[in-house]
Homo-oligomer: A and B are copies of this chain.
Amino acid sequence: MSLVVAGAQTGPIQRADSRAGTLDRLIALLEQAARAGAQLVVFPELALTTFFPRWLLEGAELDAFYEREMPGPATQRLFDRARELRVGFYLGYAELTPDGHRFNTAITVGPDGAVLGKYRKVHLPGSAEPRPAQSHQQLEKRYFEYGDGGFQAFRGAAAWGAPVMGMLICNDRRWPEAWRCYALQGTELMVLGYNSAAYDPNGGNAEDLQIRTFHSILSAQANAYFNATFAVAVAKAGVEDGAGLIGGSVIVDPNGMILAQAATLDDEVIVAECDFGRIAQGRGPGKIFDFGFHRRPQHYTRIVEQTGIEVIP
Contact = CB atoms under 8 A, between A and B. Distances in A.
Interface string A293-313: 111111111111111111111
Copies of this chain in the oligomer? 2
A177 B294 CA distance: 12
A303 B301 CA distance: 9
B184 A306 contact: yes
B215 A299 contact: no
A94 to B, nearest CB: 20
A110 interface: no
A182 B117 CA distance: 34
Contact of A307 (B295, B303, B309): B295
A54 to B, nearest CB: 16
A71 interface: no
B300 A183 contact: no
A4 to B, nearest CB: 22
A176 interface: yes
A214 to B, nearest CB: 7
A40 B206 CA distance: 31
Given A304-B297, A304-B301, A309 B183 contact: yes
A305 B184 CA distance: 10
Interface stretch (A8-16, A29-37, A85-93, A218-226): A218-226
Contacts of A288: 125, 171, 174
A266 to B, nearest CB: 26
Interface in A178-219: 178, 180-181, 183-186, 202, 204-205, 211, 214-215, 218-219
Q: Which of A127, A153, A225, A288 has the most CB of B within 10 A?
A: A288
Nearest to A205: B281
A241 to B, nearest CB: 22
A301 to B, nearest CB: 6
A125 B289 CA distance: 9
A287 interface: yes
A216 to B, nearest CB: 11
A177 B307 contact: no
Interface in A109-130: 122-125, 127
Closest 9 CB pairs of A and B: A292-B308, A222-B222, A176-B176, A186-B311, A150-B299, A177-B300, A297-B304, A291-B308, A184-B302
